[in-house]
Structure 1
Amino acid sequence: MDKAPIEMFVGVINPYALTEAITGKKFDWKDPKSFQILEQTLEKNYSELFDIKYNSPLYAGLELMKDNSVKPLKIEDIKVRAADKQESLDFSTITNLKDLNKIGVKNLDTIAVKNARLDKGDVKVVLNIPTVNNTISNKLISPTLKNIIFGNFTVETGWTPANTSWSDRGNFFNDVVEYNDPIQGAVGNCYFISAIAAVAWASPYLIEHKVRATGTGEADRVNAIQFYTKGGGKDAPSRLVEVTDRTIINNSNNPVYCRSNDAGEIWPAVYEKAFAKWINQTNDDRPDISKTAYGDPVKAVAQLNNKTPFYYNTDSRTALDLFGIVRGNSMSYKTINPMVAWTYGSGRDYSGSNIVGNHAYTILGWSTFNNKNYIILRNPWGVTEPNGLNSYQGLISFFDGSFWRPINMIGNDGVFALEINSFKYYFAGMGVAK
């Protein structure tokens, strides 16, 4: 076991939830062409979304350090551009290189070339022009993005981002607690969402629906959720946190932040809300969810189950060592102690792998297939799995303790099996609370 880090800032915004929050529309993200919607809305090539070194807006509020770690930016270092859409430029008037001065290119010798290729006899060049390049990034955000990520607080409405409201969307549970229920929303708190998914998978009995009736009617019932102090940031004194069923929705009646994979079920959103209320140490039923961004996934598990957090860095261990740690916390291929893992801030080929930098994942278990060892992981976005990387495509079942629960590794649902050497390369560490 390694020493617990002083502070961790693991976190990246779910691009699918963020795109829906910006556009106010729902999309079929399993459509192979849906990446084009992400590119248009987030103003970034898909291949550059998942690594902070490309200044992706999914890391808004974070800064990449020289050692490939990340730290929060000071609020004064985050700029907000004047409008949500960039002013259009009339490129039809450009017929030769000299005309480029119409869009701010004064000296071609000083302009950086982003990429170039030969296409059927034509040389196509993409230029990086600072005076034109006003796209959103981790340091420059649009007004709408600022509202979604940071929200606003007033005495009259509590924390309620513009064009949203607090509403009761359904039942706390629809059926049994499932590992794939929690889906991260438009805030960089993957560390917490992966933690509640880990608990739901390994210790589902800990996800309880405790209700206290106020005596004034069913609509006034409150949920009681227990959190345990573990010290450091994103923490508070241990207490039972009471919140109502009301969660944030936009004008299209869709959730903006954490939601359940099961329509009409709200327990993941209620847990996120209660966590925000707890770390903000407020009594308001409309806590600032944006304050949950960036944290420690292992500590988050411990804050839920009141166990001891154990940390294991990957760089000081062999791939077999890491595989053995997962097996040691599993039974019948399935984790029996809630486990999580997190990637490096940058420094790996995240842009081409579909594995996300500075992101937290739930560890579901392990498998051996064709003499290769795999760790089973889940992306809390509910989609986005690695391309290639020796991912095992097939059907794996984990024993649940009372019945066999199948996990289909073929569908794009965020669950994938990663060969242990690839895991060691892409992931910075993993941990368990037991």
Structure 2
Amino acid sequence: MVTSDSHSSSSPPGISSNNIDAYALFEALTGHKMDRRSIPSRTMSEDYEDLGNEDDDSPLLGQEPSPDEPPKEVNIGAINPYALVEAMIGHKLDRHALSTSRIISDVLQTDYEELFDLKHKSVLFAGLKLNEQERRAEELPENEIKILEERDLVTPDLSRVKTLNDLEKIGLKEVGDIRIKMARMQNGKLRLILDGQSLGRTVGNDDITETINDLVLPFRHNKEDREWAPPNSSWRDMNEALFRSIPRRFMMDGPPFAFTRNFHEQYQHRFDDPTQGAASNCWLIAAIFSVFWSNPAMINRSTRMLSSPMERSRRTLSVKFHDKGGRNNAETDTVEVDYQIPVNNSTDMPIYARSSDGFEAWPALYEKAFVKWMTGSQDRSRVDLTQAHNGDPVKAMAQINGREPRYYFTDRHSAAELAGLVRACSVNKRTISPMAAWTHATGDMFRGSNLVANHAYSVLGWVSEGQEENQYIIVRNPWGVTEPRGLTSYPGLLDRVEPEYWPPAALLDRDGVLSIEVQTFKKCFACIGVAK
């Protein structure tokens, strides 16, 4: 039994005690500081796992499902709309407010419920197109990406429209065949919402503004001679930018007195979970978090100082990545990056990957290091982070931890097999081998489900709940956002996971963490994988 030193102090004189401090061991393994005063009490029943139904169709006792053949091409990528809109408008959004959905919809010129499915050609999937037969995404060639100008977005004057015939006069041809998006009777009036794409263009997966192009896509459109930097941003030292942002955020979140005490209470959180920025590299951020979650010791968060006679001293981080073949790949090597990252000039916040508490550097540095490695860039400071705009989260986990990627396509395995796979990779209901999954590129389930199509999620573990002991798989959205209640609802999905429901939730920031019943998981997700 592992006990703490506080209990060993009562050992008789002359008898040595080799008991391990369990708290110190936990902190060393996870890299998190533990509040020893807030350890919950446990009951004996919590030490045992429910073995489930004896009649299920799981693989033979002691065996995991056989992995499937690795896919030839994986184009998983969905832009974080919260970070994208923040980068475009230059101020922070309240991610827990219902009104935020309206802001996102207005800025991205798309109905909120149509943002999260590739079949609507949403701008969140810029640079990708839908293969309807196989329900997967394919890359768009650069020559199919159109950069919209102001005149392209101009709409006609509708103030003089009085009849349906008037709509045809201003350019809406064949009104009788126009798709009706919504119809409602209210107080004797028929209210219709028609598809009016022929009257005015909006941004989409292949029609984008120059601002969105420079933020998320690697296409420079004859700007190769200009050093890449996102709009309204500059390359700055991350530590310096975060320090400058503290007073502004402190004034927004709390009173300007007792600064030291309030700062530590509000900003020195123990959660530094990687969160996706204004990019479509969900596959990479989900992979980084999955490795970090299953074994924090695999992630190097220790920087070193570099100094030379020609330049001032600066901190760098060295990371080793492993060759796994295919694209978004390179030979096994260790790369080094400094703290220079793109920072929004208005908010003093990183535009791309950041920690969930906003004050840790390593997620941004890991993102930068991976892109530098896969592109072969020789610049330690400035790397074009849009080059990783879609990819394979399962392979990326293996590129980070050096293990082998294993793929399990949900249409080839039963729900019981998928649940058994997660359980086989977990201890105490938490994954100890990094796991990730991605959703189908389209489907009715992505309208009002708190899930996103063609999106990568970290798989964190499992839990059983209810009288019939339904099996749930715990996943995390790399956006680090759980949508407010009232926006979404879907059977088989719980929109927030608390420690009382799933104890490992106490180890992470719960924003973006979802519990999905295994049958729903099988329906919504296309593939789950592990790197072991």
Tell me whether the two structures share a fold, i.e. TM-score over 0.5: yes
Q: Equivalent residues in 2 for 1:31-110 (5 A)?
A: 31-66=97-132, 67-83=134-150, 86-110=153-177
Equivalent-residue separation in structure 2 for 1:429 and 1:194 (angstroms): 14
Residue by residue over 1:143-193, the C-alpha shift from the partner in whole angstroms, topping out at 9 and shown as x without a partner, is 211121236597886321232111122299x98985x61111111111110
Q: Between Structure 1 and Structure 2, how many residues are aligned?
A: 426
Choose from 276, 294, 314 the match for 2:371. 276
Q: 2:430, 2:461 within 8 Å by CA — same for their partners in 1? A: yes
For the structure 1 residues 286 and 154, does the alpha-carbon distance in structure 2 shift closer, same or farther, using more than 3 Å as the test?
farther
Query: Does the alignment pair 1:207 with 2:274?
Result: no
Q: Give 1:28 shift.
A: 0.4
Instruction: Give the Å deviation of 1:344.
Output: 0.8
- Structure 2 residue 206 is matched with structure 1 residue 139: yes
Aligned position for 2:387: 291
The residue type equivalent to 2:357 in the other structure is D
Q: 2:328 is matched with which residue: 234, 238, 262?
A: 234
Of residues 320, 337, 359 in structure 2, which corresponds to 1:243? 337
Q: Is the Cα contact below 8 Å between 1:348 and 1:426 reproduced in 2?
A: no
Could you say if the C-alpha distance between residues 71 and 381 of structure 1 is closer, same or farther in structure 2, counting changes exceeding 3 Å?
same
Residue 390 of structure 1 is matched in structure 2 by: 492
Q: What's 1:346 paired with?
A: 442
SS in 1 for 2:447: helix
Matched-pair contact (CA < 8 Å) for 1:384–1:414? yes
Residue equivalent to 1:4: 70
Greater Cα shift, 113-122 or 359-368: 113-122
One-letter amino acid of the counterpart of residue 388, structure 1: Y
1:266 aligns with 2:361: yes
In the alignment, structure 2 segments of 5+ residues that lack a partner are 1-66, 243-266
Query: What aligned pairs does 1:406-417 form with structure 2 within 5 A after superposition?
Result: 406=507, 413-417=511-515
Whether 1:358 aligns to 2:454 is yes
* Among 400, 411, 425, the residue aligned to 1:329: 425
Judge conservation of contact 2:154–2:200 (CA < 8 Å) in 1: no
Identity %: 39
The answer on whether the counterparts of 2:497 and 2:514 sit within 8 Å (CA) in structure 1 is no
Instruction: Give the aligned residue type for 1:169.
Output: M
With over 3 angstroms needed to count, the CA separation of the structure-2 counterparts of 1:408 and 1:291, relative to structure 1, is closer
Structure 1: stretches of 5+ with no match in the other structure? none
The residue type paired with residue 427 of structure 1 is F
Match in the other structure for 1:405: 506
Residue of structure 2 equivalent to 1:255: 350
Structure 2 distance, partners of 1:82, 1:242, is 39
SS in 2 for 1:221: strand
Q: Within 1, Cα distance between the matches of 2:409 and 2:70?
A: 10
Aligned to 2:58: none
- The residue type paired with residue 446 of structure 2 is Y
Greater Cα radius of gyration, structure 1 or 2: 2
| Mapping for residues 283-322 of structure 1, pairs under 5 Å | 283-284=378-379, 285-322=381-418
Q: How far apart are 1:110 and its partner, in Å? A: 4.5
**Aligned partners of 2:192 and 2:154: how far apart in 1?**
22
Tell me if 1:161 matches 2:264. no
The farther-off stretch of 58-67 and 89-98 is: 89-98
CA–CA separation in structure 2 for the residues paired with 1:84 and 1:273: 36
CA distance in 1 between partners of 2:465 and 2:93 (Å): 35
What is the SS of the residue equivalent to 2:411?
Answer: coil
TM-score normalized with structure 1 length: 0.91
Contact 2:168–2:175 under 8 Å retained in 1 = no
Q: What is the rounded CA distance, in whole Å, between the counterparts of 1:84 and 1:356 in structure 2?
A: 32
Q: Which moved more, 1:368-377 or 1:115-124?
A: 115-124
Secondary structure, in 3 states, of the residue corresponding to 1:125? strand
Output the amino acid matched with 1:245. Answer: Y
Match of 1:27 in 2: 93
Q: CA deviation at 1:127?
A: 2.2
